[in-house]
Each structure stands twice: as structure tokens, then as C-alpha cells.
């Protein structure tokens, strides 16, 4: 087996893929909530991805990614047996599980892939874990069976009502709390706007909240400043201080504004890659 070789590839929906990659040194030290930074080739950009799981015996790590732009579309061209140029990790702090008894994890869209290892990690540490998985529509639902087999309660909601219950994740959070469910912590992982409102609801109910943030990253070691965000008025780096933060302290407007910085460049790079590869291989 070669370093960074893809040993397994499974398509989860039209644009999400589950990979297992041979990276024994990373797998040996990985903990739930941590991420890696990879490059598809020696000229590639560095992108961060959460480890959805790891197996220190097999030396593999699990990555679940959405093909949304240049690098993730290039990843989509790789098959079992192909290798990434390099993978650095584990990076970031592991999920804090100490003392937690009852947790509600809320995942939105791609965020469900990031929430998956975190929810399982909390369950494995002995907490009761409920999870709300939110998606736009039925075709995008992922990881439902895997989560149901591990967690205490899993609620699936879709914006258009095509699967599970109709509504947003925030509606379901409010419903669970109004039914008298109590939690030590609510964890939000998904689009910043969803995390902002989930954390706001948690605050209204005096429940601590945690948000797993996905800022732009370059080095992943606190050197470049690319992932700087404001937490409680202080500058923090998502890569070394996070990726999980107290949701009540996040400056959401700052995060949302920063996530739009490179929209034009991203759109150009995506168009270029689609031209080179003949489009997205969604139906492989």
C-alpha cells in the first residue's frame, strides 16, 4: 500500500463521496473532531477536510467530501488505487467530550459529514446523543443509517418535505426543546447562518452551544492567518484554536463576510476545471 492511496470510494449522493485513504501516521494519532489538509497533486491548493473516522490498525482515515469547487472536483476524478500528493494531520483540537451527559448535534447539508465523527465520538465517550440532520431535499440525505445505528435519536428534516419532516433544523431544535428535552450542550455544524440561529436558540434556553467552524485555511498551523475569526472580540485561528468554539461568542457577521472573499476566484477556477474534465462526474 502506498502513502495517501485511496483504498475505498463510495458515492453517497449526487455530489458527496466517502473515501478511505491510507495514511498510517495520521490514523495512528487521529481523534474525533480533527481534520487533515491535503493536496491532490504537487501544484494543488491545500484544502482542509474533517476525518469522518480512522482505523489505526489498517492505517486508514475516512474523508467525506462534497464536490463544490476546483480541488474537490479534481478529487472526484480520483479512483481506488490513486494517490493524493500529500496529507498533513491530524490538525485542530479533538471534540471536547468530558462531562457531557446529553447532547444535541445539529448538522446542515455538507455539515452532516463533519458532524458525523463528532456525534459518534461523543456517543463513544458515554453521552446520550440526539442528532438532527437537515438537508434541502431527499436526494441529498447522507449517513442516516450509520447515525441511527449508533446514536440515541436521529431526526431527519428536509426544507421541501420530500423526506423526513418538512422544515429547517432550527424548527426541529425548537420543537425538541419545547417538548421538554434537555441537553447539556447543543452542537451546530453546517452553513454559518444555520449555526448562528441554532446557537441563538440554545442561548435563549440557557444551553451552552458549540459551533464547528470552517474558515478558509492555508497552512493549518496558525502561521498564515487565513483562518482568523473573531471570538468574543478576540482574534482566534480556526486551525489551532478550533475548529470548535463557544457558539455564543462567535462573530457570525465576520465569519459570513469572510466566507465570501474569494467567490469570484472560486467560480473562475471551478469553470476552468469543469472545462478541463468535461464537467462533473456526478454519475460515476
Ligand X SMILES: Cc1cc2nc3c(=O)[nH]c(=O)nc-3n(C[C@H](O)[C@H](O)[C@H](O)COP(=O)(O)OP(=O)(O)OC[C@H]3O[C@@H](n4cnc5c(N)ncnc54)[C@H](O)[C@@H]3O)c2cc1C
Interface with ligand X (CB under 6 A): 35, 47-50, 64-66, 68-72, 110, 113-114, 214-217, 243, 263, 266, 269-270
Query: CB neighbours of 20 closer than 8 A, spacing ≥ 6?
Result: 6, 7, 8, 58, 60, 61, 62, 63
Contact between 247 and 199 (Cβ < 8 Å): yes
Task: Please choose which of ligand X, ligand FES, none residue 64 contacts, taking the beta carbon within 5 to 8 angstroms, the exact cut-off set by kind.
Answer: ligand X
Task: Please choose which of ligand X, ligand FES, none residue 171 contacts, taking the beta carbon within 5 to 8 angstroms, the exact cut-off set by kind.
Answer: none
Q: Closest distance between ligand X and the C-beta of residue 101, in Å?
A: 27
Nearer to ligand FES, 225 or 232 (CB): 225
Q: What is the DSSP letter of 249?
A: G
Q: Closest distance between ligand X and the C-beta of residue 4, in Å?
A: 17
Q: Closest distance between ligand X and the C-beta of residue 97, in Å?
A: 18
Grid look-up 484544502 returns 47
Nearer to ligand FES, 218 or 269 (CB): 218
Q: Closest distance between ligand FES and the C-beta of residue 46, in Å?
A: 9
Grid look-up 483540537 returns 93
Binding marks (x or -) toward ligand FES, 205..244, rule CB under 6 A? ------------xxxx-xxxxxx---------x-x-----
Q: Closest distance between ligand X and the C-beta of residue 164, in Å?
A: 21
Q: Closest distance between ligand FES and the C-beta of residue 240, in Å?
A: 6
Task: Please choose which of ligand X, ligand FES, none residue 65 contacts, taking the beta carbon within 5 to 8 angstroms, the exact cut-off set by kind.
Answer: ligand X
What do you get for the CA distance between the two ends of the chain, in Å? 24
Q: Rounded distance, CA 188 to CA 196, Å?
A: 9
Task: Please choose which of ligand X, ligand FES, none residue 226 contacts, taking the beta carbon within 5 to 8 angstroms, the exact cut-off set by kind.
Answer: ligand FES
Q: What is the DSSP letter of 143?
A: S
Contact between 230 and 241 (Cβ < 8 Å): no
State the Cα angle at 170 between 248 and 251, rounded to 5°. Answer: 25
Q: Closest distance between ligand FES and the C-beta of residue 120, in Å?
A: 26
Q: Rounded distance, CA 35 to CA 29, Å?
A: 11
Grid look-up 465576520 returns 254
Grid look-up 463557544 returns 246
CB-closest chain residue to ligand X = 69
Nearer to ligand X, 83 or 269 (CB): 269
Largest Cα–Cα distance in the chain? 54
Nearer to ligand FES, 188 or 213 (CB): 213
Nearer to ligand FES, 35 or 135 (CB): 35
**CA 19 from chain center: how many Å?**
14
Q: Rounded distance, CA 16 to CA 64, Å?
A: 7
Q: Rounded distance, CA 192 to CA 36, Å?
A: 21
Task: Please choose which of ligand FES, ligand X, none residue 146 contacts, taking the beta carbon within 5 to 8 angstroms, the exact cut-off set by kind.
Answer: none
Contacting residues toward ligand FES, per CB under 6 A? 217-220, 222-227, 237, 239
Amino acid at each position: 500500500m502506498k502513502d495517501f492511496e485511496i483504498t475505498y470510494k463510495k458515492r453517497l449522493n449526487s455530489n458527496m463521496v466517502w473515501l478511505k485513504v491510507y495514511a498510517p501516521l495520521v490514523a495512528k494519532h487521529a481523534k474525533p473532531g480533527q481534520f487533515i489538509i491535503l493536496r491532490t497533486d504537487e501544484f494543488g491548493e491545500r484544502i482542509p477536510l474533517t476525518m469522518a473516522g480512522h482505523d489505526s490498525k489498517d492505517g486508514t482515515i475516512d474523508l467525506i467530501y462534497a464536490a463544490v469547487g476546483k480541488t474537490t472536483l479534481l478529487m472526484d476524478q480520483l479512483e481506488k488505487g490513486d494517490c493524493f500528493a500529500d496529507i498533513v494531520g491530524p490538525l485542530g483540537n479533538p471534540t471536547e467530550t468530558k462531562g457531557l451527559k446529553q447532547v444535541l448535534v445539529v448538522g446542515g447539508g455538507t455539515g452532516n459529514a463533519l458532524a458525523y465523527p463528532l456525534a459518534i465520538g461523543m456517543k463513544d465517550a458515554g453521552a446520550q446523543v440526539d442528532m438532527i440532520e437537515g438537508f434541502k431535499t431527499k436526494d441529498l440525505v447522507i449517513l442516516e443509517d450509520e447515525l441511527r445505528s449508533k446514536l440515541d435519536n436521529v431526526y431527519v428534516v428536509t426544507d421541501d418535505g420530500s423526506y423526513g419532516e418538512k422544515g429547517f433544523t432550527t424548527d426541529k431544535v425548537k420543537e425538541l426543546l419545547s417538548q421538554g428535552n434537555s441537553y447539556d450542550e447543543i452542537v451546530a455544524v453546517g452553513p454559518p447562518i444555520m449555526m448562528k440561529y441554532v446557537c441563538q436558540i440554545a442561548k435563549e434556553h440557557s444551553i451552552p452551544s458549540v459551533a464547528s467552524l470552517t474558515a478558509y485555511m492555508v497552512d493549518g498551523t496558525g502561521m498564515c492567518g487565513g483562518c482568523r475569526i473573531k471570538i468574543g472580540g478576540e482574534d482566534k485561528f480556526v486551525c489551532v484554536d478550533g475548529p470548535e468554539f463557544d457558539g455564543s461568542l462567535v462573530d457570525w457577521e465576520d465569519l459570513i463576510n469572510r466566507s465570501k472573499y474569494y467567490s469570484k476566484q472560486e467560480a473562475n477556477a471551478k469553470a476552468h476545471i469543469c472545462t478541463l474534465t468535461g464537467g462533473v462526474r456526478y454519475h460515476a
